[in-house]
Each structure stands twice: as C-alpha cells, then as structure tokens.
A and B are shown apart, each in its own frame.
Chain A
C-alpha cells in the first residue's frame, strides 16, 4: 500500500508542472487588456501604459513566466491587479464555502442516490424502477441554473422557507444550514441522479455473479446478501464516480453560486477572468487544479483501499 501511495504522489509532480505552464499561457492567449478593464474606457493611453508597466505586463513573456513559477514554488499567490488585495486572503474567504457546498452536494447525492439506485435495482422492471429511472434521467438533463431558479421560486419566493441570498455564513448553525440547503440541494439532486443510475447498473451486474449464488446457497439471509455481498462490491464504481464528480462540482458550481449569490472559488475565477485580472486568475486556476488533483488522489487511494486488486498491480 505504501508503494502505491508514493507512486500516486510522485505521479502528480509532472501533472502539476504541466498544469502551471498551461495555466500561465492560457491566461495570456485570451484577448483583452486588463488595463482597460480596470482603468475604464476613457482612460488615456498614458495611464494605460503606466498601469501595464506597474503590473509587469511589459516584461518579456519568459521573464513573467519564470517569475510566476518562482512565486508558485514559494507558495506566493500574489495580489489581485484590480483590488490590490492578496489573492490568498480572498481565497481563504471563499474556499471553506466551496468545500462545504461541494461536500454537502456529495453527501446529499450519496444519501439519496444509493438507496434509490438500490431500490431500482432490486425492483428491476417494475413501476418503481421505471419511475426512479425516469426521474433520474430528468435529473441528469436539467441544467443547474434551471433547477436552482425552480427551487428558489418554490421554497424562497412562494413559501419563504429559505433565503434567496445565501451569504454562506449564518450567525447560528440553524441559519447556516438554512442558507446552505437550497444550493446544496441544487448540486445534490443532480449528483443523486448520477449516483442512482450508477448504483443501479453496477448492482445489477454484481447481483448476477456466482458468489451471490454461493452466498445464498450457504444460507445467508437475503437482506444480508444484498447489503453485505452485493451492494458493497457494487459501490466500487460509485466511488470513482463520486471522485470524478466532486472535481466537477468544485468547478461547475459557478452557476449555483451566482444564482444564490454565494461566495465561492468558481465565482472568484470567473470574476478574475472577466476582468482579465491575470495575477489573480492564474493563481486561482492553480489552486483549483490542485484541488482537483487532490480529490483524484484521494479517490485513487480509496479505490486501492476498497479493491485490493488495484494496489497490487
């Protein structure tokens, strides 16, 4: 197991380096000028030039590149070109919200998705199965934006149970959860759809395997066969799905964040992008990529833990 972990860790190093390089050049390939974005459309050329000089945008590209690599190596995320605030501070302000939302979405997805998928598999080809499959298909197809607005219309505007503006942090735990609920549901319901479908198909696969028949032949009771023998093995692909999807959630929660006015990493990235805030943008993209790498690493490690065949390969 240790060798496996070490190998996985070492494999992230070239990924990180490639990612840094990619991010740096990607940010600069996009047309647009941070000087105009920041100083406004009636700013004089003189003012624009001065700004570019101050921000080091006039330096040769390779100089900027190595400066960026050196900063990253030291863990220095730099300052936003627009606000002058340290990127690290902004990041620390939003990161807990992003992680919280992602985690809540994943938990809702698992808590609802696995039982639904299981029921669907057990009652294969009955009306319950058809219903669950139809609803989860709808869940896969509906854009987060539409779902979010729908939830707000019903639960905030009509019923007044939850706020439209989710500041991300309430004074009390109750208030906090209340603000988290609708955004987490938006992500969670979509995740539920994925999980339910994956659980169902994986469960049906496993349920026909020989060892299940063996278990029954040994006289193991049916609930025990389902939970202990079939479901446990059926959940291995679900882990992969969760790992991949958590990475997607980290980034794709942008629409959810915007609709609910929630602080978050993806919102920060989009903001930096629209204003061509190069310094903030490249640092944030690096952090985002790092998070995805970490999530994938954890998934790989979990996978190795659950399925012994993988770690001995």
Chain B
C-alpha cells in the first residue's frame, strides 16, 4: 500500500537525521539562558530594565567600577580612569584616563572627549533615563586628551560622585563618534569599550556578543557570549540539563534551588543585593489613613512564615525601608513582628472589632509578586481581614498602581546601594503617585501625613559622611514609626551554572542583577 511505503520512508528519514547528529563541541562559547523574552535596547543611558542591563554591562565601562562579583560601594575601583584628584573644597574632581583604551569595531581610542560627551548625554533628560542622577555636575570638561574635569554645583559626598560614575546606568561611557553616526539607532548599534561587543541581535531569540580583542584588561578568554531569551523556566531548565546552555537565571524559590542542585555538574549561586519586597499602604483614603489599621495589618503579616514558604536560602528578612546591605542601612527601627493579639486590639480601637475589608488590591501575575501576595491574603483572612485581590498582567499592574487604584501595593525594587534613591523614589512627597513628579511613592507618605523630605534632601547634600549616615538612619526610624509601608523580605538572585564555568572572581553580589562575565571568565572543558 502506498501510504505504508510513504510512512516507512518518512520514518526512516527521521531516524537517519537523528542518527547523523553530531554534538557540537565549542568550548569557547558561553550560552546564557535569560528569563526575559527580549530586550529593549543596548544604549546604556536608556536601558532601565534588568534585561537590558544584563547585556549592556558586558559592553561598557565607567570611569570607575564595582569590583566584579560585588555590589558593595566601598569597593569601587578604577576602571577607565587610572586615578583621580579632588580639590580641597570638594567641588572639582579631576580624572586621569587610561591611555590606549580602544572602542569596539575600530571606533578608535577613548579620549576625554568621549567621556565628556557621555556624561553630558547622561545628564540630558532628552537623551537619558537617568538624568536626575547627574544634576550635581555644573561643568563637565576635557582638560586635555586624557584628563576630564568635573565641577560640582556644591560639595557632595564622595560616594555620590563616584556612585554615578560607575559602570552602572548613566555612568557608562559611549563612543561619541558612534552615537553621532547612528543617532536613534545607537541602541541597536552599541559601541563601548567593554570586554564584549555586539555581533548579532535577533528580537525574541538571542543577543550574540563576541570578544573585544583589544579590550584594555586583555583579550577575554571566552570568544562568544550568547544570551538566549527563554522566558519559560521549564524549557530553560531542560536546556541546561541537556547541556545546551551553560548559565541560566533560576527560579528564586527554595524547592527549585534544592531540585537543581541535584543535577550533576550544576553550581548554584544565590547572591545579593536582590530586590526588597515592601507592602505599601495607600494612606490617601480609608482604611489605611488610620495608623492603627496600618499597624494592625503589619502585625498580622507573619514574615517568618512567608520566608519559610519561599525558602530560607533565597530570602532575607527586611525591617527598614532601606534594604539590608545598602550603605547606612539600620535595623534599629520600629519593628512590627507577628502579633495577632495586638493587631486585634488595634483594629477594635480603630472601629473594626469584627474584621476589616481592605478593598481593591491589585497585583501582578508575575510569580515573584503574586505568590507572596497570596500568602499575605491568606494570613490576613485568618483574622478576618479580607480584600478584593485583582490579579492582572504586569503592565496593567504598573499602570493601575500609578493611577492610585490599589489600596495596598506589593512592590519589589533594587536601586543603587545607598539610601538616597530608595528613600527619594518611595518616600519623598514629590514622588507620590498622581503628582507631575511622581515616581513610586504609593503610600502617599509625606503628602497626606508629614514625611521626611527635609532629611532626604539634607542628607543628599551633606558633606560630612558621619552626619549623612545619621540623617539617613533617622529617616528610616521616623518612616517606620508612621508605618506607611511594611518591609517584608529581600528576594535574592538565583543563578545556575555548569561547574566548568570559572567566573574568574568571587561571586557575592551583583550591581547589574546578572552574572557578569569578565576577560578572566573561562570554560574549563
């Protein structure tokens, strides 16, 4: 019969193809499985997402940098600048550049002109997403080919100057020639000085980088770096097991970490700084305009239980509005540890002796927000506190919480590891949602009740580091006394790599929220 013959032939062909497979042994190509479905662009001054930063961090340098494998601002070290001097009054910073640093793809030697151009660009709100970080610079000028002079509007603590000049966000240095040549298309034609340069970008598939042969710290060991967009965890994991990817972003939950550790040759890195999850109470209307209700709900949430469910290895408790590990962080604040009795008493005093209905609470379908929110919902329900939980897709979530539609907002964020950005964006009255200057102040702290604007503003300008730390610590204490938010835990990052991937540094924490690959990273296979 014809059909049978056809089937036999088809089957034979398939088996033949399967049998003729040769496993490609490419020892100098590293493949990274990303949890994001795509990137937005590779222009460092306009790359806000973690997905963008993952790629961008491999391609650019700053004047200074975080030590690889560390996000601790105490270990900021020279990068494109060899050394620097500060004038006596602290307002003039002079940076001396390394000589002979080459841009990717023949765009020439890095000069002071590129640095001036990059920092001017980072400062310009028309061309940068991080312009507010650079308002401290009054003048940015090239003294000669290898010297850059920065004049500040007023003296500012060293950490704040160096912080914005690191290989993070706006601090990255781009090629002036390339930006002028490509214009708007620069984000798809990135030219930096970093260890890797763009080879090919295929939307929703991968970004392939190749090594920058003339990288100033030496030619990288790895020849090609392939970032695959693999949003489906299961498929990322299967590809890792099958040896098709070498490093992957893992699920930040304990059971998964335990599971993947069993895979032969898998090394799990659980690192900081991670995103802090904070519950923001919307004080612009009842019931959270009453401090007793905010305190009661705080007392009803069992932080320990949440961390038990998500896993001890991947979480760390948080009590202060500033994440642990950040400069000037303190746990010497008003604490709200699980105490249902106290909560009931407070609720009764507030006029809710028989339970409370919180109203609409909007949450993203993203697992790392939805799961903890569901645990909180369950914990509150045990004591008669209910809510209308509305689960929406991530963009709808971002949209609605900015329109003040949710009575509680569970939010996760990581920022530059000093308190300034965190306090400004979440607790300064100017950042309150609904205002023209809005960022992410969902609780309306400082707008509907007195806040700590003056402390945040003063600390930012304080030259004396000791006094600055004191102001930041006082701000943390005062905030918790009003209970506008309930800091819950820090979600650490989870990466898995094959044991033959030698990163070339101690991996403790990462400012770019990804695994940085350096010129020293090797594949031992």
Interface residues of A (CB under 8 A from B): 30-33, 36-47, 50, 80, 82-85, 90, 93-94, 111-112, 114-115, 149, 152-153, 156-157, 160-165, 167, 174, 177-178, 181, 258-261, 263, 267-268, 270-271, 274-276
The answer to whether A274 and B394 have CB atoms under 8 Å apart is: yes
What 0/1 pattern do residues 373 to 408 of B give for CB contact below 8 A with A?
000000000000000000011111011101000000
B524: chain A residues at CB < 8 Å are none
The answer to whether A44 and B203 have CB atoms under 8 Å apart is: no
Question: Which residue on A lies nearest to B48, using beta carbons?
Answer: A40
B14 contact from A94, A160, A181, A263, Cβ within 8 A: A181
The answer to whether B18 and A162 have CB atoms under 8 Å apart is: yes
The answer to whether B238 and A93 have CB atoms under 8 Å apart is: no
A111: chain B residues at CB < 8 Å are 3, 6-7, 10
Question: Which residue on A lies nearest to B421, using beta carbons?
Answer: A42
The answer to whether A165 and B239 have CB atoms under 8 Å apart is: yes
The answer to whether A263 and B23 have CB atoms under 8 Å apart is: no
A160: chain B residues at CB < 8 Å are 23, 242
The answer to whether A93 and B202 have CB atoms under 8 Å apart is: yes
A174 contact from B17, B185, B235, Cβ within 8 A: B17
What 0/1 pattern do residues 204 to 242 of B give for CB contact below 8 A with A?
110000000000000000000000111110110011011
Cross-chain pairs A/B with CB under 8 angstroms, 10 sampled: A32-B396, A32-B398, A33-B399, A42-B48, A42-B425, A44-B439, A83-B188, A177-B14, A261-B229, A274-B393
A162 to B184, alpha carbons, bound, how many Å? 41
B392: chain A residues at CB < 8 Å are 31
A294 to B346, alpha carbons, bound, how many Å? 66
B238 contact from A149, A177, A178, Cβ within 8 A: A149
A90: chain B residues at CB < 8 Å are 203
A167 to B204, alpha carbons, bound, how many Å? 11
A37: chain B residues at CB < 8 Å are 395, 398
The answer to whether B238 and A268 have CB atoms under 8 Å apart is: no
A271 to B232, alpha carbons, bound, how many Å? 13
User: Given contacts A164-B238, A274-B37, are A261 and B395 in contact (CB under 8 A)?
Assistant: no
B9 vs chain A, min Cβ distance (A): 11
Max chain A Cβ within 10 angstroms of own Cβ: one of B3, B48, B204: B204
The answer to whether B129 and A84 have CB atoms under 8 Å apart is: no
B400 vs chain A, min Cβ distance (A): 6
Max chain B Cβ within 10 angstroms of own Cβ: one of A31, A37, A80, A268: A31
The answer to whether B238 and A153 have CB atoms under 8 Å apart is: yes
B202 contact from A259, A263, A270, Cβ within 8 A: A263
The answer to whether A84 and B185 have CB atoms under 8 Å apart is: yes
User: Given contacts A164-B239, A181-B14, are A41 and B398 in contact (CB under 8 A)?
Assistant: yes
Extra inter-chain contacts (17) besides given A156-B242, A268-B203, CB under 8 Å? A33-B395, A36-B395, A40-B48, A40-B129, A42-B48, A42-B425, A82-B40, A85-B188, A115-B4, A162-B18, A163-B242, A164-B239, A165-B245, A258-B235, A263-B202, A263-B204, A263-B205
A114: chain B residues at CB < 8 Å are 3
The answer to whether B125 and A84 have CB atoms under 8 Å apart is: no
Question: Within 8 Å of chain A (Cβ to Cβ): is B465?
Answer: no
The answer to whether B17 and A177 have CB atoms under 8 Å apart is: yes
B203 contact from A85, A163, A259, Cβ within 8 A: A85
What 0/1 pattern do residues 408 to 439 of B give for CB contact below 8 A with A?
00000101000001000100000000001111
User: Given contacts A115-B3, A149-B238, A157-B242, are A39 and B10 in contact (CB under 8 A)?
Assistant: no
A267 to B220, alpha carbons, bound, how many Å? 34
The answer to whether A258 and B238 have CB atoms under 8 Å apart is: no
B16: chain A residues at CB < 8 Å are 174
A160 to B239, alpha carbons, bound, how many Å? 11
Question: Which residue on A lies nearest to B435, using beta carbons?
Answer: A45
The answer to whether B400 and A149 have CB atoms under 8 Å apart is: no
A174: chain B residues at CB < 8 Å are 16-17, 20-21
Question: Which residue on B lies nearest to A112, using beta carbons?
Answer: B7
The answer to whether A32 and B238 have CB atoms under 8 Å apart is: no
Question: Which residue on A lies nearest to B400, using beta carbons?
Answer: A31
The answer to whether A275 and B395 have CB atoms under 8 Å apart is: yes
Question: Within 8 Å of chain A (Cβ to Cβ): is B304?
Answer: no
A178 contact from B21, B132, B421, Cβ within 8 A: B21
Question: Within 8 Å of chain A (Cβ to Cβ): is B265?
Answer: no
Question: Within 8 Å of chain A (Cβ to Cβ): is B316?
Answer: no
The answer to whether A268 and B204 have CB atoms under 8 Å apart is: yes
B413: chain A residues at CB < 8 Å are 41
User: Given contacts A40-B48, A41-B413, A178-B18, are A115 and B7 in contact (CB under 8 A)?
Assistant: yes
Question: Within 8 Å of chain A (Cβ to Cβ): is B41?
Answer: yes
A152 contact from B37, B203, B235, B394, Cβ within 8 A: B235
A46 to B16, alpha carbons, bound, how many Å? 60
Question: Which residue on A lies nearest to B185, using beta carbons?
Answer: A84
